[in-house]
Structure 1
Amino acid sequence: MAIADSTTLSTTQDTPPLPVWELVCIVAGLMALNALAIDIMLPALSDMQAYFQLSNENAQQRVVVVYVVGLGLSQLFYGPLTDRFGRKPVLGWALLVYIIAALACLIAPSFELLLLARFIQGASAGATRVVATTIIRDFYSGRRMAEIMSVVMLIFAAAPILAPSIGLGVLSLFGNWHSVFLALAIYAFIVAVWSMVRLPETLKPENRTALRPDTIFKSYKSVFTNRISIGYMLASAFIFANLFSYIAASEQIYSDVFGIGASFPFWFAGVAGCMAISNLTNSKLVRSVGMRRLSHTALLVMLIANILHALLSISGHETFVSFYILMVISFLAMGFVGANFNATAMEPLGRIAGTGSALYGFTTTFGSGVIGGWIASFYDGTTGPLFVGNALALGAAFSIICLTERGRLFSSSQSV
């Protein structure tokens, strides 16, 4: 591929130039911290429910939801911090807190304290999301950024594909859910060392912004008043609510609805793998086809697939085959949305990339997590509520994009 070569990136700092392939791997590794923190414990949720004697079966979903809430909220603070102090210092401290929080989850004596530690873990992980996107934007923009992000997402996609199987393997090896958090702490330590040693500081001294309320307000105002940026951010929140609702309820769906809980990691990996395939395809097509044309088409496909899914479920005609085929279609389409919507939203925000990345991360994690968690909370032993909610969320996303683009969908230009 185009980026997998010896091209190097020079920075204004004294650190050695960084090969592009290594930059991509580090950024993907940072982003994978979040996917692993969510997906690796899906096989362990039922064990946690039994361990803490939770009477409400849906309460186990909170282990995922509180992490996502912490992840989303914290990014609003990390944006200004990275624009003031640089990318690496903020990342280093956040990764240290992440490791400590993972160990706190391991020894939590009650479900409430586990949820508190998970919230802190998510809040610390917000820095990885902000820094990862910001560093890519520091070097690239437009279709080139979308191409790079697609490759990042391709590598990152290995996390949700492998995480449930890793979680199941850890459970089988050590026999308890506590060991899952030890695995997270070890992985975070490895990524932290690699990042601190090899990652260059990409914020030039002349681009640092003052950490004052008026400066922060001005930066966020610039994002909020940019029609393209805020429109694509809000639409992304509704789109990725589909992902979070599926993740939160997936273990219950495969086990309770279809009775195939034992092979859950395999089926979950298959759906996640579809996103990897479409991200790879997107990286090859985006320069010639354009971000908007690819992502708008994919959004429409997702909307139609989820409407069909809702109708099949409500009418009582859903089978595992129809469920899985429509999930595959939805996640294939989602892979053409993420990197392209991200790059489109960040395109006008070069000088405030940290703040822009923070707000994008907030909307696509906190916003998506709240909406997706709310949708998943209606799980009633069938998939009907899930896909009715997903179809409505995608309808909202499509409407927002129509308003943002003033009805001119599927367009293409030299840069987008």
Structure 2
Amino acid sequence: MSERRVSLLGALFVAIGPISMALYTPAMTQIVEAFGTTEAMVKLTLTLYFAGFAVSQLVAGPLSDALGRRPVTIIFMAIYFAASLAALFAPSIGFLIAARFVQGVGASAGQAIARAVVRDLFTQDQSSRIMNLIGIILAVGPALAPTIGGLVLEVSTWQAIFFLMALLGLTVMAGAVFSLRETVVPDRSRLNLRVLGGSYLYLITNRHFLTTSGVIGGAVGALYTQATFLPFILMDDIGLTPSQFGLSMLVQTGSFFTGSITTRFLMRRFSAYQLVPFGLGFIAIGSLGVSLLLFEEPSFLKVMVPVGFYSFGIALVMPAMLTASLAPFPHIAGAASSLTGFMQMGAGLLMGSIGAALGDPLFAMGLLIPIMGGAAILCYLVYRSNPHLAEPEPRHDMTVGPQSTGRALRAETNRND
């Protein structure tokens, strides 16, 4: 399990979730016509996919702690494959909605387990380099997926989209079967709900985990929040056509991709942790630019230039903060990875829901995105303010318990001495 193999497998596992969401979007209008249903019903196929994906992470990660990374990946990818076939032959919109939910459940393991595998094998800048490569592929895959889906629909029907997803599921399963080696000693005692609850309780009361995951939630969660505002702002307020909107999103994806490539280049000379303040600086600039939408008439540049700055900053922040969020928790890496993923998606879903309740997408984006950027910066400042929390890579393992991060580190040091 070399660094290169883990990078490629991790990217493959992580990409299946967002690709399955993006590949499907061009087919939504066809599905409305095919089933004689409403747009609202078809949108449920996206909403429930997202819900299945977000919530099931909380199960997939801890299961991989208990049963092993490899078997849980294979099981969940088999669920994804079966759900893709069910969607392919769906006789009704209700059946398709249910299949999409199960697809989300199956895809959820990819993100949770990929990060846990990285934590099992690598630390410090090796881990950050892998997280960076995963981020690069994560930017490319969803960016190309709608184009691929559109081209497929030019020569076939919406069912072909789910055929491609089934092939993708088989590809990930093959990667798990033939290339993934087990990276953790399974501990079946963790199947106990009390133990699982204790792991999650420990994480959500651990200052180190909350601050590092808070940085990720505020930074990456903004991407999910923006996705609920930008279509309405760019098409309704600014007047772009759907195809122009699709092309305009390359600003966001391209900025993230450029930031990831820049991060990879800079990591040859600097630690990933040294890049985080600069990334947060770009996020601050993006947040400030977005906040101006509260006071000025929107234009394409006024919206997308700040979005580009924010996305570029995310790429500089992610590798180190993902590594830091998992570093002290090797014995519950699956649970920590799952909860980190849930927090970033949950932050996006929560703020997106608040924005929907506010009613005006322009006002919601101008208000909520800067709040998320400010929260990410605040969490980082708290993370750096404590001598123990400021260590990029805590050097001692921590087990589940009621201690604070600092006390647990000192206790572990005493035991080792």
- Deviation of 1:372 (Å): 4.8
Paired residues of 1:275 and 1:332 also in contact (CA < 8 A):
yes
- Deviation of 1:259 (Å): 1.9
- 1:335-390 deviations in Å (ceiling 9; x for gaps): 1122222111011112221121121122123x134225415635968534234222
1:38 paired with 2:17, answer no
Correspondence list, 1:328-407, <5 A: 328-365=308-345, 367-375=346-354, 377=356, 383-406=362-385
Structure of higher RCO (CA pairs closer than 8 Å, 6+ residues apart): 1
Alpha-carbon separation, structure 1, partners of 2:290 and 2:383? 27
Paired residues of 1:235 and 1:400 also in contact (CA < 8 A):
yes
- Normalising to structure 2: TM-score of the pair? 0.83
- 1:100-134 deviations in Å (ceiling 9; x for gaps): 21222334444444333222211111111111111
1:197 paired with 2:178, answer yes
Other structure's SS at 2:191 match: coil
Gap regions ≥5 residues in structure 1: 1-8, 10-18
Paired residues of 1:82 and 1:131 also in contact (CA < 8 A):
yes
- Deviation of 1:407 (Å): 8.2
Other structure's SS at 1:200 match: coil
Give the corresponding residue for 1:128: 110
- 1:255-280 deviations in Å (ceiling 9; x for gaps): 44432322444332342122122122
Give the corresponding residue for 1:260: 241
Q: 1:340 to 1:258 in 2, by over 3 A?
A: farther
Give the corresponding residue for 2:404: none
Alpha-carbon separation, structure 1, partners of 2:254 and 2:19? 15
Alpha-carbon separation, structure 1, partners of 2:243 and 2:59? 41
- Normalising to structure 1: TM-score of the pair? 0.83
Give the corresponding residue for 1:271: 252
Give the corresponding residue for 2:7: 24
Deviates more, 1:66-75 or 1:399-408: 399-408
Alpha-carbon separation, structure 2, partners of 1:183 and 1:158? 17
- Deviation of 1:406 (Å): 3.5
Q: 1:45 to 1:326 in 2, by over 3 A?
A: farther
Which among 113, 124, 137 is matched to residue 155 of structure 1? 137
Give the corresponding residue for 1:236: 216
* Number of residue pairs aligned between Structure 1 and Structure 2: 393
Q: 1:74 to 1:44 in 2, by over 3 A?
A: same
Give the corresponding residue for 2:119: 137
1:171 paired with 2:153, answer yes
Alpha-carbon separation, structure 1, partners of 2:394 and 2:268? 8
- Deviation of 1:235 (Å): 3.6
1:216 paired with 2:172, answer no
- Deviation of 1:224 (Å): 2.8
Give the corresponding residue for 2:84: 102
Paired residues of 2:42 and 2:93 also in contact (CA < 8 A):
no
Give the corresponding residue for 1:301: 282
Q: CA RMSD in A?
A: 3.0
- 1:222-270 deviations in Å (ceiling 9; x for gaps): 4234311122223422332321123345555554443232244433234
Paired residues of 1:292 and 1:412 also in contact (CA < 8 A):
no
Alpha-carbon separation, structure 1, partners of 2:21 and 2:61? 23
- Deviation of 1:60 (Å): 5.4
Alpha-carbon separation, structure 2, partners of 1:390 and 1:155? 25
Q: 1:273 to 1:24 in 2, by over 3 A?
A: same
1:115 paired with 2:94, answer no
Paired residues of 2:6 and 2:130 also in contact (CA < 8 A):
no
- Deviation of 1:139 (Å): 0.8
Q: 1:276 to 1:233 in 2, by over 3 A?
A: same
Deviates more, 1:32-41 or 1:280-289: 280-289
Alpha-carbon separation, structure 2, partners of 1:169 and 1:307? 38
Alpha-carbon separation, structure 2, partners of 1:299 and 1:90? 35
Deviates more, 1:26-35 or 1:301-310: 301-310
1:139 aligned partner, one-letter code: L
Alpha-carbon separation, structure 2, partners of 1:390 and 1:61? 24
Other structure's SS at 2:155 match: helix
1:183 paired with 2:164, answer yes
- Deviation of 1:143 (Å): 2.6
